[in-house]
Every structure is written in structure tokens, then in C-alpha cells.
Amino acid sequence: MKKTILVLQLLAVSFWAQAQFTASEQLDINNVNAGFLVHGDMFWNPTTGNANYEFPKGSGKHCGFASALWVGGYNQSTNNLHIAAQTYRQRGNDYWPGPLNETTGASDTIIAADWAQIWKVNASTIDSFISVSNHTINNTHYSILEWPGKGNIYSKTPNNTTLNIPNRNMAFFIDVNNDGIYNPLDGDYPDIKGEQMLWWIFNDNSAAHLETGSLPLKIEIHSSAYACRQVGLENTIFVNYLIYNKGTSIFDSTVISYRSDIDIGYAFDDYTGFDSTYRMGVIYNGDNFDETISGYGNALTQKGCVLLKSPFDVGANREPLGNYTYYNNTAGRTGNPDTVKDFYGYMTGTWLDGSYFVQGCDPEATSGPLIPSKYVFQDDPSNTNGVSEVACNTTPNDRRFIMSSKAFTLLPNAQPIEFTFAFINTDTGVDNSNFNELRRLADSAYTYVNACSGPTFATGLPSIEENNIQLYPNPAHDYIMIKDAAQGQKTARLYSVSGQVLQEKTFSSQEQKMSTAQYAPGIYFLELIKNDKQLIKKFSVE
């Protein structure tokens, strides 16, 4: 087993008080092999207790453990605090697979059993599907055939019966004939991000909250995880959440938090840090060698969790996080949460006794100047005069960090609240003394949060003078127009982000139209070759 979790000693007899689902799926298109679970938690195996975020893929080394989204707020009518959270399932679960009833916000474990699955599809599979003109059950890949889009009669439960899909938006899809129903035999296909995507749905109202002991919020969360193989993104995965309030209650002071027990190899020698400019929490090794057979040795890696998209961002202005805090794998005021208020306290920046995290090198201080701090260890470890665990010479520990939004009001039956996170790793063996490489990788994640950076083109060709070429409209809808001020034969190719040639035309005219109506919204690339010169332009389809 990965490590001893102290809170497992509490109420161990109730571990199986609820029937838990162990269904999982791996996101494994690039250098990361990460596991996701149908109860909303991720990066671990609850059956074995082992980590399940392998990096680099195939190495047997892991830098991720039990992690999940936490949601908490005060019911406006009753002033009761409601929390939905997952940690290690030692007492049970707060989240369950499947959707809620649109009218009542109810669900049950029967529905949960039907939805205890994660759908996985590759962009290359979709590209192959698009290239076929006559779709049948036999020639359609199961990942497309069974995609849980609205109205799909081919989607299955784990028991191979027809899945009952609510008559509303579920998994996104490209509706080729615009009839509002997902039917792959009509040519409809999943609308995905990245080169591989997982999709699943969970809620907090199928059964009692045994993890926190809280009342439910009646939230339904549509989740997707996706990744790319492109340079700059090969060590990165993305996770997107759409959070719906399907109940009738208004929740004040609502906070959305991502909580993670990262564990860089060996669990008990980690440091944490925070970069507010990037909205990035960091876990890194607290010394120069990661011990034990599970450790990385001296080939260290750093792990960053970046909040890329928040519903409170305005244009390029990123809404600051409400809090970045941590707690330890111990008992006492700085240890594992137990009550509803404990969970919410960590989400909003207080220890278990209600005292605030403190500015400076000792966030746990109880005497001296006690100035509350929203963010702990907010300086780069290379800054010898800053506040980092390196500069403060703290004792490495089994850190669990929590990064939280600012408080807001969660309204019922409104548009979903959307958050997108990126999880990034530096290559093993790089400099562990600063966060520069993590920031570089975070820049790529911000740039390509909705799609990969693009295919790899042939190199060595001189560039076409771009001033002579126009590509419009951008974004495209039904077509893209190529305009060349000069005559002469040229070849144009349209590429998907996965690198597949979707369309190729050779022409000599000054203008050429290429249809894009058949393509999913997203990023595409045009390669134009003329007189052994090359032009590559990126454009989007809406």
C-alpha cells in the first residue's frame, strides 16, 4: 500500500457502509498516465491504495495521489453549511456517478450504477469516423457509437442495457444534421478537446454524505479530462468541470476548491508553494534526493496545478484565487479534516481550531505577530529573502494542498459554473531550485487550453511571403477562403490538431474556397505549399 493514512483508523468499520464503485479510466495519450474514478476523485486506486498518476508514463514512478473537487456553501434559507468532498473513502463518499433529476434534484444508487463508467475517445478515432461516408453499427467505433449525447439509443450501461439519458445536454457532440439528437449513424460524433478525452458525470445527492457528514447541495458535475502529445504539452493534462445546481436552494459564500495529496514519489519529503501570477500551486521535493523504491531518486520532477479558467475571469484578467492552503497527514489543529466546518475552514483559509493561516515562514504559528495570509509559501524557492519552504527551512512533510475560488452565490437552475485546471510536470532531472520551467509549461497550457498546439509539419522549406496570402474568415463557419495575389500552382492542406490531413486541394487560381462546415468547432491548421515554399497558418472553426 502506498502509505499509511492516519484517518483510516477512524470509523474503519464503515468503509463499505455504502456500495462503492471502482470503475475508472486512464488518460494516457502523452507522457502522463493518469487515473480517474466515477466518484469524482482521481489519481489513485482506492482498492489497492496505490497512486495512479504515473509520470513519465512507463516509468513506474508516480506524482499524484487522492485528489478531488470540493464544493461548499451556506444555504440561504436555513444558514446550514453544505459540503461535498472526497478524500480517501475511509468513511464513504459524498459524490456518486450519474445525473440528477432536472425537477427535483434527486437521484439514487440504481441510476449511479448505470452511470458508473467513464467514456474515452481519441481524436484519431473521430478523424477516421469522419472519413467514412456511410456509417453503420458495425463500422462505427464503440467510443463514438456509445457516446452519452442527448437521445443516443446506442449508449449502454455497464450491464450492457440501454442507458437512460436525460432529455437535455449531456456529453457534447457535433450535430451534423442539427436535429438535436446524438445519432452516430447520421454522422454525429463527440465534440472533444485535445487528442484524447475522458467524459463522466457525478453528483452529490444519490446517497448520504458519509465523507463529510454534510447535507447535499444537489449539484451535478459534468467532467472532462483531456491531453495532447504536442511539444510543450506532452507533460500536461487538463481537467474541466461544469457545475450545475440542480436543487432549489441558493448557496451563499460558495467556494470551489481543488484538493490534492500530490506525493512526488516518496510521500513524506514534499514541499508546497504558490505562484499567484499563474494561479499555480506547486509540490516539489524538499531535499535533493527522493527516497525509497517509489521515489524519483535524484531525477526529480516538480508538479504544478494551474487554474486556467474561472467563471469570474474577465477577458485576459484572471480572477485571483481566494486561498491557497495546505494541511498535514497528522492529527491536531493542522491535520486531517473531520467535520463539515473543518472542510470549509481549509477551503477558506483556517486551521481546524478556526485560527487563520499566518503570513511568513510559519503559517501554523500561534504566537507573535499573527497576520492572516490568503496564500502560503508564495515566493519562488530561489528567492533567498522570500517566503518559501526552502528559504524558511521548513521540515518536509506529506503535504495536502487546497486551492480555492473566491466566495460567490450559487444559484439554482442557472448556467453552469465552469473551471478548467492543468496539471503539469517538469521533465525529470531538471533544476529543482526554482519554478521557471513550470511557468514555461504553464504558459503553453494557458495558450492551448481548448486544443492542442497543432501537427508537426515538414521542416526545411523556405517560407512563403505571408503578406501575399490572405486566409479568411477566421473564425470560419462553413468555409475558409485562401486568397493569393499571384497566379501559380499551389497545394493547400487542412489538418486536424491530431495531425490528420482532412482535406487537400491543388489549384492555380488566385482564390480557393475549402469547406469547413463538416468539421467540429476547434483549432485547425492550413498548410500552403507553392514553388517549394511553405506557409502554415492556424485558424478556428465555430
**First CA to last CA distance, the chain:** 48
Which residues in 233-348 belong to E strands, given as ranges? 236-245, 251-260, 270-275, 280-285, 303-309, 323-328
Give the total residue count for the chain.
Answer: 542
Q: Class for domain 466-541, per CATH? A: mainly beta
CA 104/CA 53 separation, integer angstroms: 37
Model confidence at 113: pLDDT above 90: yes
According to DSSP, the residues that pair with 505 across neighbouring strands are 492
Q: Quote the pTM value.
A: 0.85
**pLDDT the model gives residue 466:** 65
Residues 369-379 have pLDDT tens digits of 899 999 999 99
| CB-neighbour burial class of residue 333 (10 A; exposed 0-12, middle 13-18, buried 19+) | middle
Give the domain ranges of the chain. 6-121+198-447, 466-541
How confident is the model over 393-415, as pLDDT tens digits? 999 999 999 999 999 999 998 89
Helix, strand, or coil here: 142? helix
pLDDT at 6 over 50: no
Are the C-beta atoms of residues 39 and 16 closer than 8 Å to each other?
no
Helix (H, G, I), strand (E, B) or coil at 71: strand
pLDDT confidence of residue 218: 97
Q: How confident is the model at residue 498 (pLDDT cuts 50, 70, 90)?
A: low
For residue 475, is the peptide bond before it cis, meaning its omega torsion is within 30 degrees of 0? Answer: yes
Chain centroid to CA 296 = 24
CA separation, residue 380 to residues 256, 309, 433 (Å): 26, 23, 8
